[in-house]
Amino acid sequence: MDELRFWKYHGTGNDFVLIEDVAGRFELGDELARRLCDRRFGIGADGVIRVAPSDDADFFMDHRNSDGSHAQMCGNGIRCLGKLVYDRGLIERTEVRVDTRSGVKTLSLHVEDGVVGSVTVGMGRARFARGTLPMAGDPAETFVGEPFEVDGRSYKATAVSMGNPHLVLFVEEDPDDVDVPRIGPLVEHDERFPERTNVEFVAVQGDGVKVRVWERGAGETLACGTGACAAVVAANEAGLVPSKAPARFPGGLLQIERLPDDEVLLTGPAVRVAEGVLDAAWLGASGR
């Protein structure tokens, strides 16, 4: 491979390197993903998304976290994918079906003057059974509004799957005051989560929630789409916010709506930052 063209996008500060591969000729390995995401020696991002072909949808989102691990689903990343395929003329419709490792999702692109400014994603159903995360214990039981002890402190917590695992920890203080880099990895690797978990630190503020997130395989990020859904759904389940509520992150605001059948809609921005070509020598050094 002489060169590899890339695009850089972000959704509320959650940033991604995107690679267009609709012909299915490129393999995204874990080593290359880690190098691409390196903020000093690579491009720098929270994750890499290969826009790949799909037999069941318009595209497949082949997503890896910054540590090279596969991601089942990413609400911010899939919005960026939706904007990319429209920007690049790969699709002219504003309804896009994208296959992910947690199933096919439908995107509604909100276009003004020919530009995609925001995207609504049908994120699928929020599920509470331990077996859907997975979480240790009876697979049919739930972990909703239960005490969760970590680092010498007990939190009121709810475990919820949005196609990937989340543990929502409700905090009394402002999430800005929480030591997320210390507590986040302790929960991510807690033995009760055999496949690790994402962690949301949530405080109810006004009509919605304020959130900081520790993402499985990526660390703390400025926003998380599935985390926003998990946070609002957990707060709504506890009667703390309405079924349609904003989730405020350090990187910006996401709007969440929980429908009566537990389907969840996520709406937020997608922003194109840059495009470029990876140097052939750099690619060769990556072993790919």
**Which amino acids are annotated catalytic?**
74, 224
Strands of 113-262 (E only): list them. 115-125, 146-150, 153-161, 165-170, 198-205, 208-215, 219-221, 244-249, 252-258
d(CA 248, CA 232): 10
Look at residues 270, 268, 264, 245 and name the one whose alpha carbon lies nearest to residue 123. Answer: 264
d(CA 73, CA 50): 13
The values of phi and psi at residue 79, to 5°, are -65, -40
Spatial contact of 253 and 201, defined as CB atoms under 8 Å apart: no
Residues, the chain: 288
Q: Which two tokens stand for residue 154?
A: 């007990």
Look at residues 172, 176, 167, 131 and name the one whose alpha carbon lies nearest to residue 148. Answer: 167
